[in-house]
């Protein structure tokens, strides 16, 4: 590990010198690329430098313990040594986490797709609640939300809602939300008082750039039609809604949220590109199925990940066995504690994988 850290520090120092080179500054593409690498290496470099300072302090304390004849002075040195040893152990754990392979998508914006599953109107209503939950969490993180497409119901729910979350690290936090979310409560649409179980699926896809996914225009069939509202009635007098079919995969994306056909087409292409990137990621992960079986962030769309139990006022994440007894607060967007616990568990699994 330390040889690798020495190499990282050397590379960091090299890039630091390059970033003040006038020729590099003049080449903005190269400068931006180096600046990003520099920023990625900085936390590891600074933490490792701190570790080396602690090690130097340990060596000095040990020298005093071995050579000084004053018992009181030796006691002080032994106390300092013990404290520095604890610091060194803590820093080593930090370095092990920092050296874990980074998900290249963690810095990206995300496209979130929420769909009502089993439960009809009740599932659609809960899909709308999850949309509000993520919107409030995004607002707290100072991220921006942009609705890409939505299929609302007459009762105020969503059969489907697709939206983009724009902000630094959005994917790194929201990627743990992919899967089946189960709700247990007495439906507002019924008066019988019986508890029903409904499900909503959530898919979190990293936004794909042109360089991530290349789409051949000849592989697309694009249809335009009039937007429709509740019950299928037309809500627009022009053919502004867009349906894009990716012929090689059979993926179909529709978008009618905007009044402009061009804007709907742009949004639909963004969704299609994200789905194609996600397909590629899923294929890669399937090849490493044995390695990711225990990982928290597996992204399995069919996995039941969480239950929201209204009678007991609790939300339970089944992957890490964590329960929070503040359901209304959680649905109000205060999901940071759960996400942090999921990220920590994911790191622990990855560290365990490195040890084996």
Pair (286, 173) in one structural domain: yes
Q: What is the pTM of this model?
A: 0.68
Residue 219 lies in a domain: yes
Per-residue model confidence (pLDDT) at position 305: 93
Same domain, 163 and 93: no
Say if residue 52 is in the same domain as residue 92. yes
Q: Where a domain ends, among 70, 98, 126?
A: 98
By residue range, what is the domain housing residue 10? 2-98
Q: What separation in angstroms does the CA of 178 have from each of 107, 115, 181?
A: 17, 12, 9
Q: For the segment 154-174, what is each residue's pLDDT rounded down to a tens digit?
A: 888 999 999 999 998 899 899
> Would residue 229 count as lying in a domain?
yes
- 278 burial class (0-12, 13-18, 19+ CB within 10 angstroms)? buried
Flag residues of the chain having pLDDT under 50.
231-236, 288, 290-295, 297-299, 356
**Is residue 146 domain-shared with residue 91, that is, in the same domain?**
no
Q: Are residues 44 and 124 in the same domain?
A: no
Same domain, 26 and 148: no
Query: For the chain, what is the domain count?
Result: 2
**According to the model, what pLDDT value does residue 177 have?**
94
Residues 94 and 114 in one domain: no
Q: Tell me: do 51 and 87 sit in the same domain.
A: yes
DSSP-assigned beta bridge partners for residue 253: 244
- CATH code for the domain in which residue 267 is found: 3.30.70.1660
- The answer to whether residue 104 is domain-embedded is no
DSSP state for residue 208 in the 8-state scheme: P
129 & 54 share domain: no
Single residue among 52, 78, 98 that ends a domain in this structure: 98
- Residue 65 maps to a domain: yes
- Residue 105 in any domain: the answer is no
Task: Note the pLDDT tens digit of each residue in 119-153.
Answer: 888 899 999 999 999 999 999 999 999 998 888 88
What whole-number distance in Å separates Cα of residue 85 and Cα of residue 98? 20
Establish how many alpha carbons lie within 13 A of residue 156's alpha carbon, considering only the half-sphere containing its beta carbon: 6
Longest dimension (CA), the chain: 95
Q: Which of 98, 129, 153 is the last residue of a domain?
A: 98
Q: What is the pLDDT of residues 5-36, one digit of tens each?
A: 888 889 989 999 999 999 999 998 899 889 98
Q: In this structure, are residues 339 and 320 in contact, taking their beta carbons and an 8 Å threshold?
A: no
Residue 186 and residue 310 in one domain: yes
Do 147 and 252 have their domain in common? yes
pLDDT at residue 356, as a whole number: 47
117 and 17 together in one domain: no
Query: Does residue 354 form part of some domain?
Result: no
264 located within any domain? yes
């Amino acid at each position: 590990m330390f040889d690798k850290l020495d190499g990282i520090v050397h590379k960091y120092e090299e890039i630091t010198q390059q970033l003040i080179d006038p020729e590099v500054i003049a080449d903005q593409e190269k400068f931006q690329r180096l600046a990003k690498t520099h920023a990625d290496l900085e936390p590891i470099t600074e933490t490792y430098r701190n570790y080396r300072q602690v090690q130097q302090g340990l060596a000095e304390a040990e020298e005093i313990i071995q050579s000084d004849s004053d018992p009181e002075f030796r006691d002080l040195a032994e106390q300092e040594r013990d404290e520095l040893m604890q610091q060194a152990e803590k820093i080593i754990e930090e370095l092990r986490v920092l050296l874990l392979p980074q998900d290249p998508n963690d810095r990206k914006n995300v496209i979130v797709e929420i769909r009502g599953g089993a439960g009809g109107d009740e599932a659609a209503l809960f899909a709308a609640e999850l949309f509000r939950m993520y919107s409030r969490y995004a607002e707290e993180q100072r991220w921006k939300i942009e609705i890409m497409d939505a299929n609302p119901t007459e009762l105020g729910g969503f059969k489907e809602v697709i939206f983009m979350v724009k902000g630094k690290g959005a994917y790194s936090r929201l990627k743990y939300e992919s899967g089946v979310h189960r709700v247990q409560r007495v439906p507002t649409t019924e008066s019988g008082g019986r508890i029903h179980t409904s499900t909503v699926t959530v898919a979190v896809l990293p936004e794909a750039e042109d360089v991530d996914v290349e789409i051949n225009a000849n592989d697309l069939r694009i249809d335009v039609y009039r937007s429709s509202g509740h019950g299928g009635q037309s809500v627009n007098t022009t053919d502004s809604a867009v349906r894009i079919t990716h012929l090689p995969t059979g993926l179909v994306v529709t978008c009618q949220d905007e009044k402009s056909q061009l804007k709907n087409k742009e949004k639909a292409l963004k969704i299609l590109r994200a789905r194609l990137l996600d397909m590629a990621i899923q294929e890669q992960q399937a090849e490493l199925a044995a390695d990711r079986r225990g990982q928290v962030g597996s992204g399995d769309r069919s996995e039941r990940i969480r239950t929201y139990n209204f009678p007991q006022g609790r939300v339970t994440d089944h992957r890490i066995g964590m329960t929070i007894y503040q359901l209304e607060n959680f649905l109000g967007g205060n999901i940071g504690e759960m996400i942090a616990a999921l990220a920590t568990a994911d790191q622990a699994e990855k560290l365990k994988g490195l040890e084996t």
